[in-house]
Amino acid sequence: MLEEVRLLPPEQALLTTLVVKVAVAATLATMLVRFGQFRRILLTEKRAWRERLTFAFAFGIPLSLGVSARLLLNYDAADLSLAGSYLAGLIAGPYAGAIVGTLVGLPALTAGEWIAIILSVGCGFAGGGLREVAPKEAIWHITPLLVTALKRDVWPLFGRFRIDWQLTLLAAPISLELLRQVLGFRYGIQRLFFLDSGTVWWLGGLVVLTSVLSVAVPIKIWNTARIEHRLQEQEKLLMTARVEALASQINPHFLFNTLTSISSLIRSHPETARMLIGKLSGLLRRLLRSQDHFVTLREELDSIDEYLDIETVRFGPTLRVEKRIAPATLDQLVPSMLLQPLVENAIKHGISRKVGGGKITISSGRANQHTVIEIIDDGVGMTVEDSTPRAGGIGLRNVDERLRVIYGENYQLKMTSTPGEGTCARIEIPELAVLQPVSA
């Protein structure tokens, strides 16, 4: 014996449809904002025609499929024709709203609902018209929290006799839904689809409220995405400013130390000092030509060679340099002037204090998707307390801070030293190799 199928009472069925309708609007808005091109369209208020058409079709086609689902599957909650057309006009202008209205009205027109396409196109123009006269930021302030909005905005509206755009923009979908109800009762559901609440007045109020929420919820979702993008851009600008500030500390520090070294040779070895000044001018010219915050390891090593040419002249054969560079790491991007302070520290605090000079080894390799760079000297070494980057000079602190700012707190300068044996400065950088250097 077949069990009797129990259907929901009309009131409960309508309530379920209304709840699902708001959920469908929120889901569609969330899905669309995940696409980068759609999200970029939301970020600007002045859009080219191509962007408006992209928005209209990206938004209108899913809405049209929702109307088709209502007609074919009797799934009333998928029909967002009124709210969708109005919302498209409000965000992208009257013509985009009219295009969306046409897209959602065509399936209904094929089913004989000829009033639907007229109303949906009108809703698109209504939203676009309000966009033209309302302040653009007022559109993004529309909130689904209607109770708090009314409490905050109604009294100033009456107290100052001025237009409150948020309430005006919310009143429009209310008026459009009431118009749809009137036209639906006048011409019948065969000519215009609408959610019939019957004689239950509070259900009619919920139908109107649902249309408002179907507009306010997507705007809230999209505005949240806009705010998050702006915060990310501000964080990038802040990081770039910090990197530039740290990089600006390196150049004066390097120049001061190098000029100090040259000044000590002016009286005793004037020809040597003259040659060092020429090499220094070449190195500075190279630094001034490059405005990039990131360079390849190959370019960074070239700068180190020019710096070592200066130091080799000062120390003579007592300073030996050995390189163990893995060819696969030469295209790795590194912050500009990252290694020079490490080499300078090895010479100043390691080799120069050792009788008979010493050797500096520069090595690079790859491990666990990271490029590992080490500057090793066999100088006098340092104590545990002195070998920390924070205890060092400006150069070491700067390198450590730049690594933390650019790559995160897990990336830092690691110093290990044994008194009498030497010091090793080690950095790890996530693998990133491109054909051309990029700026931060």
- pLDDT, tens only, 351-367: 877 777 788 999 999 98
- Note the pLDDT tens digit of each residue in 205-244: 999 999 999 999 999 999 988 888 877 777 666 666 665 5
Q: Which residue has the higher pLDDT, 426 or 238?
A: 426
- Identify which of 273, 360, 80 has the alpha carbon closest to the alpha carbon of residue 195: 80
User: Is pLDDT of 438 > 50?
Assistant: no
Higher pLDDT: 314 or 79? It is: 79
- pLDDT average, residue stretch 330-343: 86
Q: Look at 391 and 230; give whichever has higher pLDDT.
A: 230
Q: What is the pLDDT of residues 248-294, one digit of tens each?
A: 555 566 677 677 777 877 877 788 788 878 777 776 776 665 556 78
CA atoms of 18 and 147, how far apart (whole Å) = 19
Q: What is the mean pLDDT of the chain?
A: 81
| Bridge partner list, 365 | 372
Q: Please state, in angstroms and rounded to a whole number, the distance separating the CA atoms of residues 117 and 102.
A: 6
Mean pLDDT, residues 75-93: 93
Delineate the domains of the chain, giving CATH numbers in brackets: 10-232 (no CATH), 264-430 (3.30.565.10)
Contact 80, 21 (CB under 8 A): yes
Contact 265, 272 (CB under 8 A): yes
Q: For residues 213 and 146, give the distance between their C-alpha atoms in angstroms, rounded to a whole number.
A: 9
Q: How far apart are CA 353 and CA 172, in angstroms?
A: 81
Higher pLDDT, 22 or 316: 22
Spatial separation of the C-alpha atoms in residues 100 and 109, rounded to whole Å = 14
Is residue 304 within 8 Å of 343, Cβ to Cβ?
A: yes
pTM over 0.85: no
Q: Which of 150, 32, 18 is nearest to 88 (CA)?
A: 32
More confident residue, 72 or 394: 72
Q: Side chain identity at 13, as an amino acid letter?
A: A
Q: How many other C-beta atoms lie within 10 A of the C-beta of residue 297?
A: 22
Is 143 a residue whose pLDDT tops 50? yes
Q: Please tell me the predicted confidence (pLDDT) of residue 66.
A: 94
pLDDT at 387 over 70: no
> Could you give the CA distance from residue 424 to residue 372 in angstroms, rounded to a whole number?
12
Q: In DSSP terms, which residues pair with 335 in a beta bridge? A: 294
